[in-house]
Structure 1
Amino acid sequence: MASLTTARRVVVKIGSALLVDRATGHLRSAWLTSLAADVAWLKSHGVDVVLVSSGSIALGREALKLPASELPLEQSQAAAAVGQIRLARAYEEALAPHDITTAQVLVTLEDSTDRRRYLNSRATLEQLLSLGVVAIVNENDTIATDEIRFGDNDRLAAQVAVTVGADQLILLSDVDGFYSANPVDDPDATRFDVIEKITPQIEAMAGDAGSGLSKGGMKTKLMAAKTATAAGCAMAITEGSPNNPLRLLDSGSPATWFTADTDPRAARKRWIAAMKPKGTVTLDTGAVKALMSGKSLLPAGVAAIDGRFQRGDAVAIADASGHVLGHGLCRYTADETRIIKGRQSQEIEALLGYPGRAALIHRDDMAL
């Protein structure tokens, strides 16, 4: 696989078992310091980095002196609330010596399945990355009951990778790749260096979670790989417990890479193009020229609106003759668009009564 330093954007998933010592429940500070050095090394090569990190419940469990056994839901939520502060502070303190600003982003599964919330999450993460910030993403376990009971950060990491358009997703695990069988139980199990397609045979080889702190097993990692690779993002599973795990991976340490057939931007364009539009926005000549030169669609360039659509819905983009130029995800409802069409972006707040985004359809959210 290509070097991590050649990627445009990398998402790294860190599990609880890597961050928190199983015996003591304390943070593995030296390991986190080495990971922070790896993140700084990637950023020095111009790579955007997002960290998807478990650990809040594990850290909160120790702080609240809760047992190591499976916790009732209410105790899990309480542990998450206490531990999340400690988790965010730990990352901030580890990355600060490298002059890296951190942000905490708490999400739920609904934030990726609801298109309006998905677009809001995408816009926020994109803005953070443009400012050089390393976002620390975690499930909002204090309120997301289903995620605590059944969720895992492998699939969350894949969803984040899709949301930010990452071209590499790294799952730091307690094993050094995907094996034909569980290597703990089967001495003849072999590791795959590269998997180009996840076949039923590959799926049959996956096992369940084997760690007392983590919830993700190989089945969830395969699901993450399906999500990531379909969006043009290559994914690696590698041993994460040694210090500097990202540099080790880049230098050729054992891993399994799941390859992607396309790049993230092309995959996203295909996804948008395949959506059924809920309405049509008709553009003036100037807006058509702007779009064809790679610009976003501003309200000023819209001449007419047709259909009923909500924020985040797909709409057809047409020229004055009715020729459909492509599809895009609209950042305003149909009613809002009718109010602001033909007007300047700085007028949006006065027209709607609340501030809005400058672009009606961002260039990253359209397929022409």
Structure 2
Amino acid sequence: MDPAVAARVAPFTGAARLVVKIGSALLVAADGGVRREWLASVIADVAARVAAGQQVAIVSSGAIALGAKRLGLARGGRASLEDAQAAAATGQILLAGLYAELLAAHGLTAAQMLVTLGDLEDRRRYLNASATLDRLLSLGVVPVLNENDSVATEEIRFGDNDRLAARVAQAAGAGAVVLLSDVDGLYTANPALDPGATMIPTVTDLAAVDGAADASSGSGLGSGGMLAKVQAARIAVAAGAHLAIAAGHGAHPLARFLGDGVGTIFVAGDRESARKAWLAGRLTVMGALHVDAGAVTALRSGKSLLAAGVRRVDGRFQRGDPVDVIGPAGPVARGLAGYDIADARAIAGKRSDAQAAILGYAPRSAMIHRDQMVML
């Protein structure tokens, strides 16, 4: 292998734990059937990584599409929430059986984990999921995860398995994520609309590529677009995991990416503490604190958020709930609120010496303490 390519893919071949995401557009054919030979080639790639000493988890879409075909439902099972839930329940057992069969052919044991957004947003349930993943992987099992669409509603859904894969990597302590996609990477613009768009091979600054992604999904089968993949990268790199978007079409796509490095790689930063990584990866928050430029400067220097720098308070939250901190140019941090919303609104913009009279009790040291906050 070319030394430059070897160095490029080293974070993925060398990670102790690897998460591989497979989307509906790759797994399911236009007629709703499984691309079995293609999937068998991916599982062969996974088996090769396990043989090389890596522990691998798979995040797989496809249950709704497979269930819709079995049940004869219109619009791929997405005509209504009830149809989608019924299709998911029917298709998931087919999907799990398929993975178990293909992994067993390589002497590997499959496990199924179905999760909802709430399972990974609630701290205690997140820790339970993390412990289960850790034990399965340490036993040499290949966990296959999917969103539990049979019970999830629009309000409690990840909505795409790209972000779920990033959260799974975080929960499992994985060092790398590969999103096998129906496109071969992130482009400077949507290549379907702009013939001059070029692929971005490496991303070290997520802010620099925010405008390059959109939410469109070309196949009509999946629910995630490039925007979801960039959001997934944000979650992964905050947890210290490198993330790659690589072309999934054709046989052995994982082995191909690990051999040629073609795709977009998002380079991980320093791993946050476990609690802060979980906080940064949350997809739901209960409110927002809008702050001035001075507060943004203080936060970026490692300070806590003081009430004096808060200009507006939105949402419905209690003390300890996650809230975003929004500066003049956009989101800058996420943290656990030190006050409920009524008290936060009452003291917003007020200096510490005025807060006791407003609250009727001695104020806390900060609106959000730096130990309960992560920069975005």
RMSD of aligned residue pairs (Cα, Å) = 2.1
**CA contact 1:230–1:267 (8 Å) conserved in 2:** no
TM-score w.r.t. structure 2 length?
A: 0.69
Picking from 21, 25, 32, the partner of 2:32 is: 25
2:144 corresponds in structure 1 to 136
What is the distance in 2 between the residues matched to 1:253 and 1:226? 20
Which runs of 5 or more structure 2 residues have no equivalent in the other structure? 1-7, 281-376
> After TM superposition, where is structure 1 displaced by more than 6 Å over at least 4 residues in a row?
147-150
The residue type paired with residue 25 of structure 1 is G
Aligned with 1:183 (options 181, 185, 191) = 191
Q: Judging changes above 3 Å, is the alpha-carbon distance between structure 1 residues 111 and 149 closer, same or farther for their aligned structure 2 residues?
A: closer
Change (3 A) 1:142 1:110: same
The residue identity in structure 1 corresponding to 2:51 is S
Shift of 1:5: 2.6
- Alignment gaps of 5+ in structure 1: 275-368
Report the counterpart of residue 255 of structure 2 in structure 1: 247
One-letter amino acid of the structure 2 residue matched with residue 101 of structure 1: T
Deviations 1:300-359 (A, max 9, x none): xxxxxxxxxxxxxxxxxxxxxxxxxxxxxxxxxxxxxxxxxxxxxxxxxxxxxxxxxxxx
Counterpart pick for 1:83 among 87, 91, 101 = 91
Matching residue of 1:305: none
Structure 1 residue 146: Cα displacement: 2.0
The equivalent position to 1:260 in structure 2, one of 259, 268, 272, is 268
Q: How does 1:108-187 map to 2 (within 5 A)?
A: 108-146=116-154, 151-187=159-195
| TM-aligned CA deviation for residue 262 of structure 1 | 2.4
Normalised to the residue count of structure 1, the TM-score between the two structures is 0.70
Judge conservation of contact 1:232–1:267 (CA < 8 Å) in 2: no
Structure-1 separation of matches of 2:121 and 2:190: 32
Superposition map of 1:263-274 within 5 A: 263=271, 267-268=273-274
Which residues of 2 match residues 341-352 of structure 1 at below 5 A? Answer: none
Structure 1 residue 271: deviation in Å? 5.1
**Correspondence 1:45-84 to 2 at 5 A:** 45-68=52-75, 70-84=78-92
Cα distance in 2 between the residues matched to 1:194 and 1:273: 25
Give the match's secondary structure for 1:76: helix
Contact 1:111 1:121 in 2 (8 A): yes
SS of the residue aligned with 1:178? Answer: coil
Q: 1:152 to 1:272 in 2, by over 3 A?
A: closer
Partner of 1:222: 230
- Letter matched to residue 34 of structure 1: S
Q: Deviations over 1:195-234 (max 9, x none)?
A: 00111x4111211222210110111111100000011000
Q: Would you say the 8 A contact 1:141–1:148 is kept in 2?
A: no
Q: Distance in 2 between matches of 1:71 and 1:150?
A: 19
Q: Percent identity?
A: 51
3-state secondary structure, aligned to 1:125:
helix
For the residue of structure 1 that corresponds to 2:206, the secondary structure is coil
Give the conservation status (yes or no) of the 8 Å contact 1:73–1:148.
no
Amino acid at match of 1:227: I
d(CA) in 2 for partners of 1:148 and 1:86? 24
